[in-house]
Structure 1
Amino acid sequence: MTKRHNENLSLADVLKEFVETNRLEKGLDAVNVQDAWKQMMGNGVNNYTTAIQLKNDTLFVKLSSSVLREELSYGKAKIINMLNEHLGKELIKKLVLQ
């Protein structure tokens, strides 16, 4: 049974405490990165994206188009900065396009 706090807490504080105590942050970060990729890259890139996976600080993206993979490889640093800015924290340090 969890301990009960007597003071009033906001819902955001309660959710943050729940995520920290249950060590869910890595899983939530992985889901947030996938959502950020889909939002930031648009339909053109998403149609050729087959898998997105975050391992430690490296984002692995599988693409079904070799032409698109080559085109995106020229702007890796910009993509990393754009995704980190969208997420509000620096989760991604390396991008691997497969």
Structure 2
Amino acid sequence: MSAIMHANHRAAEPHILPDLSALLPTLPPAVTRRHGAELLRRHLGFPVSPRSLERWPVPVRLVNGKATLPTYPLFAEAVKRINAAPVLMGGSAKAAA
């Protein structure tokens, strides 16, 4: 078996997310892509670039020439992507003695 194993072969702990019901009311209702990327990194530990957010299926509203995204759908999409990401196990490929 390879040094990296898929989660189906071994149990792994799920990604622990903060309580979004407490977090979202403290955030602005809409953010720019740059600010949204920073909020995702800070609160979810999910690194994403503002350019990547252009391709996410999140509604966009142009305000004074700036694209703004509603915060709730932005975080919902990030959580969906985190939960859909495969869990890989690393380690040595050597057999245990």
Higher relative contact order (CA 8 A, sep 6+): 2
Which structure is higher in helix share?
1
When normalised by structure 1's length, the TM-score is 0.27
Q: Could you tell me the TM-score, scaled by structure 2's length?
A: 0.27
